[in-house]
Structure 1
């Protein structure tokens, strides 16, 4: 663990949102294109999985899976989940936990990813200027072209897509994800006001400057290596990243939240997770795993999260 992480729980971010943060996102989410969500059953056992396509940012098609218990005839609470960095939606049988618990579950693909650890099917049509390998520096010189503008807009649309399915109760939708998925969870919680709950685990995309300063592994060093070459661009890069910081989304989120943080996490240093946790505007709970790295609580925390969601959906 980096030496500067000796007391991460006391860390409070110095990051400040741009003055036009809210208007930037209001403009980004003013979609001209219809959602056009389509659901095709592709796999059925005790759980039925639908191949989902919906129009994301710029009207570009985004893939997902929607899993529901087979034989369901009534509307179900729904968990919308976002994958970790480099991963995609995978295969239909890889994400069955929430459907096995009796919920509907939409698992969103992430554009351009899905070749790092789980396969994906959604291209990124806006690849943009030269970048450091990975996704952190794609279009990073301007908020309007930055990669995560498109991904976050897709994530908001994923919630909209889940809500139009006839087996989903649109008033009972929660969001969750691990790492990058945790950062996207915070973004959606800050942009969609009527969610039932949010559960970000070991969240990435929080307090970018702090992450660059202390993370010895994972995606934050992509930014460091980019700036080591482009020495004159640091201010411009961090000005862009401020529009995508999970800390600022957390400050706008009001649904009940369950965070998890791992104190030996070198990819998403615990102080960055605490930064978002302390900034979170709604009711919040925290599970801390002192002896784990970026894997976090894994199956142990799955059980904690399921109890949290059970409570949230029953309110």
Structure 2
């Protein structure tokens, strides 16, 4: 079954807010509405957008808006200005000759301050295909890697984390020896206090090196689901924020980023041990006496969204997968003159356009793992996301051959609402056996 759900944006009594992305505390509200309610058009069809601007909730008239329009995450192909006559303007933003997304970027000067906004519209994104090639030895490479990692004995250390416990939930800090002896990962395990057998949700982290807060998803255990929020770098997640910031400066970003560490060799690439450690975490979770023995769901966001696609493809114990705007998808897409996936290696890093790097990426790109998934998948993503762009989310969704369903929230940038978090849990519940 292949379903796509478009999240309906609420209509407010004073004005619609389909693409109002400004922070809650901003005095300025942009209202930009595509002429198609689902923000999607046919290739070669002209897209139009109406623009309104509010200051303190008051419609602004005769304000001049600067705009630039181009394929998402690429150089603008058209620039100009438009005036909000009587508080509104309609702009023909153009079209694309092949599937993809146009990004319309706006700026306005009000009281000597510049306010920016953007909105993306899509053109037959269901026809987008990956640039990344699938290596002939992809499966054998990972089968061998998994077999080698399985030789490492799992050692577990588990201590109560009382600061995250409630009257309904117990939380433990867990240390797992994974991948090879001496290499550890950590995670917070939250369980219902009530005795019983429960489904398990495995949740790897988003990108970066930062503290973890299991309280964000305590509602899983409150709803009768065991949850494991995993750390992938072997760094205790209970360190203070200052210490994490110092560690992150060492290998968390830029040319020191773990995401490019060893990238010229698929056997030395940092993410190899990350992917294998996810599987070893599953080894641990399946030993929990509270697990119901039937339901093991992978759920994650951004980098975590990629890691759940990877883990689901590599481990047939996973029974369902929920990925939100996954990173690491069609990363080499920039070489096809369009947006590629996070971490945007070909625009944010130096000297990445090398044959050996492009070859390594083929073994680690989440798109290639998505092709192998055989269990139900639920994906959520938005169109205005510049971190994990909709181009790569659609490409990933398009290659999934198993039962799949998506919740598309066009206005969303790189964030997840509390409501969407609970929609994901609701979908997970529908997959329980």
TM superposition score normalised by structure 1: 0.86
Identify the residue that residue 260 of structure 1 maps to in structure 2. Answer: 380
Matched, 1:283 2:406: no
Query: Which of the residues 222, 244, 248 maps onto 1:100?
Result: 222
Q: How far apart are the structure 1 equivalents of 2:170 and 2:299? A: 21
Number of aligned positions between the proteins: 302
Counterpart check, 1:307 vs 2:307: no
Helix, strand or coil: the match of 2:361?
helix
Larger mean CA deviation between 184-193 and 154-163 belongs to: 154-163
Q: What is the Cα deviation at residue 221 of structure 1?
A: 3.3
Task: Say whether residues 1:270 and 2:387 are aligned partners.
Answer: no
Question: In 1, distance between residues paired with 2:170 and 2:334?
Answer: 40
Runs of 4+ in 1 over 6 A off after TM superposition: 112-115, 117-120
1:111 matched residue in structure 2: 233
Which structure has the larger Rg over C-alpha atoms? 2
Contact kept in structure 2, 1:260 and 1:286, CA below 8 Å: yes
Change beyond 3 A, Cα 1:303–1:91:
closer
RMSD: 2.8
- Asked if 1:75 is matched to 2:75, the reply is no
Structure 1 unmatched ranges of 5 or more: none
| Equivalent in the alignment of 1:240 | 360
* 1:21-170 superposed matches below 5 A: 21-30=138-147, 31=149, 32-43=151-162, 44-45=165-166, 46-59=168-181, 60-70=183-193, 72-88=194-210, 90-111=212-233, 132-170=255-293
Answer yes or no: is 1:13 the counterpart of 2:13.
no
Residues 151-181 of structure 1, C-alpha deviations (whole Å, 9 max, x = no match)? 1111111111111111122321100100000
- Deviation, 1:191, is 0.4
Match of 2:266, SS state, is coil
The Cα shift of 1:88 comes to 4.7
> Residues of 2 paired with 1:79 and 1:246: CA distance?
20
> Shift of the alpha carbon at 1:196?
1.7
SS in 2 for 1:210: helix
Distance 1:210 1:118, change over 3 A: farther
- What is the SS of the residue equivalent to 2:349? helix
Give the structure, 1 or 2, with the largest relative contact order (CA under 8 Å, sep 6 or more): 1
Deviations 1:169-222 (A, max 9, x none): 232110010000000010001101132210000000111112675459x94234
Is the Cα contact below 8 Å between 1:185 and 1:200 reproduced in 2? yes
Structure 2 residue runs of 5 or longer lacking an equivalent are 1-71, 75-99, 103-122
Return the structure number with greater strand share: 2
